């Protein structure tokens, strides 16, 4: 499965994702008026497709819609470094990286194009039993 993101300004977005997350651009198809009908990029082993907002295609990006229900989870080698770098490039921190009960260190940020990214680094590999044990402890602490 490949996410297909609609953004205002695909070429700017691809450049930002390249700087923030190491995205590598792929094929790009533009309309005569410069609107990007299709673009692709690779981040690590994952492909992402993108297109510009366009009334002709009847689509809008999250900024035009007041947000997106879609978030993207990206594993990186060093969540703290990548998170700080993305924020320095204009992302908005939503949750600073911290160790999670499920074995990841993760944090969430909003990119300048309206999408939320959870960046994570696995810090410990847990068995299913240990994960369930930790989940029940957290749930009990929350009163659930």
Ordered domains of the chain (ranges, CATH) = 1-66 (3.30.720.100), 70-144 (3.30.720.110)
Calculate mean pLDDT across residues 66-83: 96
Contact in structure between 121 and 77 (CB atoms under 8 Å): yes
At 80, is the pLDDT very low, low, confident or very high (cuts 50, 70, 90)?
very high
83, containing H or E segment: helix 79-88
Q: 83-136 pLDDT, tens per residue?
A: 999 999 999 999 999 999 999 999 999 999 999 999 999 999 999 999 999 999
Per-residue pLDDT, 95: 98
Residues 6+ apart with CB under 8 A from 142: none
Q: What is the pLDDT of residue 55?
A: 86
pLDDT of residue 144: 61
Within 8 A by CB and 6+ apart from 136, the residues are none
- Of 18, 62, 58, the closest CA to residue 41 belongs to 18
How much of the chain, in percent, has pLDDT values that exceed 90?
Answer: 92
Per-residue pLDDT at 143: 73
Check residue 71 and give its pLDDT.
95
**Average pLDDT of the residues in 56-62:** 91
Residue 117 burial class via C-beta count within 10 angstroms: exposed 0-12, middle 13-18, buried 19 and up: buried
Q: Give, for 56, the enclosing helix (H) or strand (E).
A: none
Measure the N-to-C terminal CA separation of the chain; round to a whole number of Å.
34
Angle (nearest 5°) at CA 89 between 99 and 75: 35
What's the pLDDT at 119?
A: 98
Closest CA to 48 of 26, 30, 77: 26
Q: What is the pLDDT of residue 141?
A: 76
81: Cβ contacts below 8 Å, ≥ 6 apart: none
Spatial neighbors of 33 by CB under 8 A, at least 6 apart, are none
Q: What is the mean pLDDT of residues 42-66?
A: 94
């Amino acid at each position: 499965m490949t996410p297909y993101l609609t953004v205002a300004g695909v070429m700017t977005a691809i450049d930002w994702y390249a700087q923030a997350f190491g995205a590598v651009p792929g094929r790009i198809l533009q309309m005569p008026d410069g609107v990007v009908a299709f673009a692709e990029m690779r981040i690590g082993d994952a492909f992402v497709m993108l297109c510009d907002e366009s009334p002709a295609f009847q689509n809008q990006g999250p900024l035009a819609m007041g947000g997106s229900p879609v978030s993207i989870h990206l594993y990186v080698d060093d969540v703290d470094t990548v998170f700080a770098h993305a924020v320095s490039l204009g992302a908005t921190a939503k949750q600073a990286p911290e160790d999670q009960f499920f074995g990841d260190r993760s944090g969430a940020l909003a990119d300048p194009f309206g999408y939320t990214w959870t960046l994570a680094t696995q810090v410990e590999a847990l068995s299913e039993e240990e994960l369930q044990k930790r989940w029940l402890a957290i749930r009990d602490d929350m009163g659930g």
